Amino acid sequence: MNGPSHSKNNKALYIRFNKCFMQARWLFTLMILTATIPAFAQTLAVNGLTCEYQRNPVGIDIMRPRFSWKLTSSQRNTMQTAYELRVGSSAEALAQGKDLVYQTGKVSSDRSTFVEYEGPQLRSRMRYFWQVRVWDDHGNTSAWSPVNYWEMALLDAADWTAKWIGTPNPADTVNGPSPLFRTTFNLSKPVRSARLYITSHGVYECFINGRRVGNDHFTPGWTSYKNRLQYQTYDVTTLLTSGTNATGAVLGDGWYRGQLEKWKNIYGKELALLYQLEITHTDGSKTTINSDGKWKTSEGAIRSSSFYDGEVYDTRFEKKGWDLSTYNDKAWRPVKMMAADQSKLIAPVGPPVKKHEVFHPAKLIITPQKDTVIDFGQNLVGWVTLKMKGRPNQIIKLEHAEVLDKAGNFYTLNLRGAKCQNKFVLKGDAERTYEPHFTYQGFRYVRIKGYGGKVDTSKIRAVALYSDMAPTGTLVTSNPLLNQLQHNIQWGQKGNFVDVPTDCPQRDERLGWTGDAQAFSRTAAYNMNVNGFFSKWLKDLSIDQREDGAVPWTIPNMMPKTSAGVAGWSDVSTIVPWNMYLVYGDKRLLEQQYASMKAWVGYIQSVSVDNLWNTGFQFGDWCFYSPSPTDDSGKAAVTDKTLIAEAFYAHSTQIMIDAARVLGKDDDVKRYSDLLKEIKKAFMKEYVTPNGRTVSSTQTAYLLALQFDLLPEDQRQQLADRLVKNISDYGNHLTTGFLGTPYLCHVLTRFGHDDIAYTLLLQDTYPSWLYPVKKGATTIWERWDGIKANGDLQDPSMNSFNHYSYGAIGDWMYRVMAGINTDDVRTGYKRITIAPHPGGNLKMVNAQLETGYGQVSSKWTLNGDVMNLTVTVPVNTTALIVLPKAAQVAVTEGDRPVKEVDAIRDIKKDGQDLKLEVGSGTYNLKYNMARSMAGM
């Protein structure tokens, strides 16, 4: 009776179900489409994780390490609004969110650089794992980042159980054979992990079971050894084996006792080793192998080693297999136990020296003097490797030089007392590769002696060595000479950033001269990541600073007779910390150096009379232009040294005001502000006439007065006009030395003279930046005319062809020509300025810079009056794009007027320039400068 009705109801129910199912399926499909497509377009990800400037560092002793990360997003105008960071003791547990050591929870902040660890106290030797996720202002949440880690070093002197060991040889055997140290030990249990903590007096290479430990060179690096000695931490788990193991090390004089300038044994007379190998077995038990009285020592094939003179390697003295367990060391002597203070041991902050580029010979030359010379095509710093099978007792000598003389012969006079040669004494065994260990040379050319027969260039290589700083900047233009200049600037930096910022890498000097470092520091930060490099060096500056605040001329200070600080050199103590803060936003570095900065300005105050620093020795504007050694024409650009000193006194005081403001030291802000007013009054009274003329009518005098704002506002333009007139009087040439050159083009641009700045930049006759380029330079020269127009060479007593100071023009090329600059308030490129200044008949400039937030790029091209500008702004930053001579109505991105571009936050006119406030993303802007000007 109910059957038909039931069937009808079922059918209706089926129809409704089917309809709902189809609707649900389409709804589900639509949800998938709307979910996947926008999700793909709105991907937010975290990458580029670092801890204390490094990726997965092993062996740090910073108790509150800082974390940084970068974001990627395919949406424009993306800012981080919050982050969550968590730390665990194992990677597996951390990935699951379990057993956490520390977690922040969701923190509302746009900060993604130098986020401090604030968890429980960190423990020696522990490896910690961390990851982060973020939220953005579009409502997106990233996935957790990949797991990264850092590992703590030995945090207390009591953690050291190893003893210092040396040789029983007489002390003061500088340039003698390198000592070998070895021991054996047995491992009966499987190894889970092993860490080696090692350092030396001198420089070392270490081996375990015949394999080299790590790929660092010249370890432990150069510090103020009497106060700080770095040690390295290596993960050597894979180098150990079951049963009997052997380990050992070889030492060289290095900076510890080797010759530096005229001195040797500066830090001590005896080489020594400290070695602590800690092994954790799979069952949790531990074994420690220490340097102690059980070790043995002997001499090996390195018969002498010196940074200045080179190395002698005699294969006849090799102890084959000395670092293997099977070696018979019965003839070796017991080591000498040494006394040393473990409290001075520190973990490294800066990057180690490593091998980098490898160069093949560019040309084989037989000189007029019949020498066999290899041209590697690049002035570089490192050494030459040689692969060959030699005759018994054959001696191969490799001599190094930067240039050939006018006649085309090998030239070494400018090396002064440095021999710069490596010798290999062969014993006629199988073909092998020979290379030095504890030396390096600055060279382009290598003279080979003793080879015998035709040189096989296919088996000879040059290897570049320098501190392992990540490349950050590239800059290319439409002018090949400028591109070569940029190349030379970068290679000047590579060759002189060998653990410390040296003045030159070839002659008997190679010291951490402070004047060169301060002049170049801002340029250095465009080319490479130098935050860790300078952080390490500045700590030594603070330690070697005198009690009265005077800063030595070289850091580490190995000139004990240095009597006082000098302008422009000692000001490195304020200039470099401030530059690093601007570029990286590293407030802790500023805090670390603040006491040193104050002490330096306090020293100047103590030696000044009526706020005038006009006493004591000064270097002045080193290597300024002079037409001849005896200048009878009066054209030498001699700047009053006390004027320079007063200008830098004002500059360092201004930096103190800025640093105090950043650090919230209000009393110091007032104190230094009052002091600066008095310094400027003293400068005006002593060095400026009532008509606004400086007592020295030189480019450097004008530049320093303008760059450091020493004149009243209403007198500055006329001084800038005097500068332009001076440049014209010298035939559109610069005449500045080390202290004036960094500011030259910046001041011209600031006062509306871009045309003159470009004229100087593109000048190719002496003195100029491009003159050395046209002479074939591949690095920056110490003198504007290291090679004279007629081919003669300058005075060899001071004529380095790799001396980076004049490369400070690179800062202007990046910051003004390409237009990439950071902000003085939101530092570290959190807020970016992109303000290119086209000129100099250039058709294109393309620059990229890897910042703490990601890559910034600025590329402009000119086609007639039409300018195309392509800008990339990293996620979690904003940028102010300044378009020269632009009107809003004329600027487009593609076919759209600029005012319709979604990520442009604000548009405003500022004189002839148009300013666009934008968020992250890539922008392709185009406008006609002539029409823009006509429409104004």
Catalytically active residues are 509, 782
Amino acid (one-letter) located at 38? P
d(CA 253, CA 315): 20
Cβ-Cβ contacts under 8 Å for 684 (sequence gap 6 or more): 710, 711, 712
Q: Quick check: 745 and 811 in contact, CB under 8 A?
A: no
**Residue appearing with tokens 């392992």:** 468
d(CA 362, CA 457): 9
DSSP output for 255-303: HHHS-BTTB--SS-S--EEEEEEEEEETTS-EEEEE-STT-EEEE-SEE
d(CA 637, CA 651): 22
d(CA 805, CA 741): 9
Q: Quick check: 181 and 297 in contact, CB under 8 A?
A: yes
d(CA 695, CA 706): 14
Burial of residue 421 (number of CB atoms within 10 Å: 0-12, 13-18, 19+): buried
- Hey, what are 602's tokens? 């306090």
Cβ-Cβ contacts under 8 Å for 304 (sequence gap 6 or more): 175, 176, 177, 311, 312
DSSP output for 417-436: T---EEEEEEES-S-EEE--
**Residue appearing with tokens 């009053």:** 640
Cβ-Cβ contacts under 8 Å for 54 (sequence gap 6 or more): 60, 150, 532
Amino acid (one-letter) located at 121? Q
For 302, 303, 425, the CA distances from 317, given in Å and listed in that order, are 8, 8, 10
Q: Quick check: 214 and 332 in contact, CB under 8 A?
A: no
Burial of residue 748 (number of CB atoms within 10 Å: 0-12, 13-18, 19+): buried
**Which of 488, 497, 532, 529 lies closest to 516 in space, CA to CA?**
497
Rounded to a whole number, what is the distance in angstroms from the first to the last CA of the chain? 93
Q: Quick check: 656 and 574 in contact, CB under 8 A?
A: yes
User: What's the DSSP call for residue 864?
Assistant: T
- Hey, what are 792's tokens? 């003669």
**Which of 241, 236, 247 lies closest to 210 in space, CA to CA?**
247
Q: Quick check: 227 and 276 in contact, CB under 8 A?
A: no
In 497-547, alpha helices (H): 514-527, 531-544
Of all helices (H) and strands (E), which one includes residue 593? Answer: helix 587-607
Report helix, strand or coil for 924: strand
